[in-house]
Amino acid sequence: MAEKVTFNIDKEKNFSEWYTEILDKAEITDIRYNVKGFVVIRPLGAEIIEQIYQMWEAELKSKGHKPCIFPAIIPEKNFKKESSHVEGFSPDVFWLEETGEGKLALRPTSETAFYQLYSLWIRSWRDLPLKLYQRANVFRLETKATRPLIRAREFFWIESHDAFSSKEQAEAQVQEDILITENLMHQKLGIPFLPLKRPFWDKFPGAEYTIGSDVLMPDGKVIQQPSTHLLNQGFAKSFDVKFKDDKGKENYVWQTCYGPAMSRILASLIAIHGDNSGLIVPFSISPVQVIIVPIYKTENKDKIMKKAEEIKKELEKEKITAEIDDSDKKPGEKFYYWEMRGIPLRIEIGEKEIKEKLTIFLRDKKERVKGEVKDIRKLGEEMDKRLREKADKEFKKSIEDCKNKKEIEKALENKKIARCNFCSIEKQGEKCAEAIEKELGAFVRGVRHDKKEKPTGKCIICNKRANEVVYIARSY
């Protein structure tokens, strides 16, 4: 069966237009808000973001984090306490007009708000670990072109800020954060990523090191998803966050922070799973998991609607969210509407389905199968597994070993990530990275954090001994 190209835009051929169009057609965002870089997130987008929030919050809580709420406004003097942090963020800050209390910023991130209080809350090893997170909107005065959900001047994230009594514990937290990303973003949402230790020149301002999660978008550009930072004792020293250990000895705490951006994860979700009929939302987080479409004529409407209501109740008993579309649209129109919005499963109920098994449409395969209410969860879970496996397969194919600039260029043209030998991701490698940026319009994204990869030859730029295997990609 030929795939109906609802958009008249092919995702493979023209991802950028496809993405813009799907946000509009599936009613995810509205870009007509009249401030540059700010968009309105419509109900379907807001509902999915809420699901992603709840998923991360539950996971963070299960790992001993507690929620809190910090002000969205941070005094400039807090930023100034950590010199590399203020340098890194100052250009991107929205400042408030003077209110008589000194210069105030809209938070671009909240380290300098949290740690001031941490210095008051933490006294002894008994107060540690302190693991707090907040759900928050943050603001960055982006000067580059913005894209809805991808690069915006306001976005919606969780930031968790943890303090420990040893460096080992802090490093273990970094591992845990990456595992959370793996469990949720990859296993649950089916979005594969590379956990990369960022080069020295690209780490979070004020951090010892940064592990970013790079997701490859269909246009061959990577996008940074949840990143976790080993802050070590830098901020602790700037903000005087000290504790007494069990022998009464005073020391600075070791810190980490972690920041999954829900609006950006939604962007990847749309980009990775969507097709030319619209969105595909994983069953596990779809705000509506099953759409029930009754197909009736005047004479059998009551009977079929009754059946639809019954099915809905049975699904709700199984904790599956379902809706009946009883609008006066034609069945075909309803099909397209809900396919566009990515609802994973559709139950069609006509005369036949009253007597026999249900007709269940699988959004990803665009196939109908026969089944019963008790099969729905399994069908949904199987779909999520298929989505993940399909994405994994694509992703695996998209990493290409390259031996020289020409090969990198070709890989990038083919919308891939290049993997190659590189001198160093410490200060001394920065020049080579600049050459790559200048000549290829791409970035050294870092080295694998999940496994040690051994270089075998020389740096593809300077020809000196390669100490690292790096991943190079175009990026958002």
List residues near a copy of itself by CB under 8 A.
30, 32-36, 38-43, 45-47, 49-50, 66-75, 77-78, 94-97, 99, 101, 104, 106, 113, 116-117, 120-121, 132, 134, 137, 139, 141, 153-154, 156
Q: Which is nearer to a copy of itself, 135 or 458 (CB)?
A: 135
Nearest approach, Cβ of residue 96 and a copy of itself (Å) = 5
Q: Measuring CA to CA, which residue among 34, 41, 102, 40 is closest to residue 73?
A: 102
Nearest approach, Cβ of residue 148 and a copy of itself (Å) = 12
Nearest approach, Cβ of residue 89 and a copy of itself (Å) = 15
- Contacts of residue 109, defined as CB under 8 A and 6 or more positions apart, other chains included, come to 89, 138, 159, 259
- Contacts of residue 16, defined as CB under 8 A and 6 or more positions apart, other chains included, come to 219
The structure tokens listed for 308 are: 């639809």
The residue with tokens 């809805």 is 148
Q: Which is nearer to a copy of itself, 199 or 342 (CB)?
A: 342
Rounded distance, CA 250 to CA 429, Å? 37
Rounded distance, CA 318 to CA 312, Å? 10
Q: Which is nearer to a copy of itself, 125 or 193 (CB)?
A: 125
Q: Which is nearer to a copy of itself, 53 or 200 (CB)?
A: 53
Q: Phi/psi class of residue 441: alpha, beta or left (left: φ > 0; alpha: ψ in -120 to 50)?
A: left
- Contacts of residue 249, defined as CB under 8 A and 6 or more positions apart, other chains included, come to none
The structure tokens listed for 408 are: 């990198």
Report yes or no: 393 and 387 within 8 Å, Cβ to Cβ. no
Nearest approach, Cβ of residue 270 and a copy of itself (Å) = 16
Report CA-CA distances (Å) from 350 to 238, 290, 294, 354, 373.
Answer: 68, 16, 6, 7, 16
Q: Which is nearer to a copy of itself, 104 or 207 (CB)?
A: 104
- E strand intervals along 97-192: 104-106, 130-139, 154-164
Q: Which is nearer to a copy of itself, 113 or 442 (CB)?
A: 113
Nearest approach, Cβ of residue 202 and a copy of itself (Å) = 26
Nearest approach, Cβ of residue 94 and a copy of itself (Å) = 5
Phi, psi (rounded to 5 degrees) for 95? -100, 150
Nearest approach, Cβ of residue 108 and a copy of itself (Å) = 13
Q: Which is nearer to a copy of itself, 81 or 449 (CB)?
A: 81
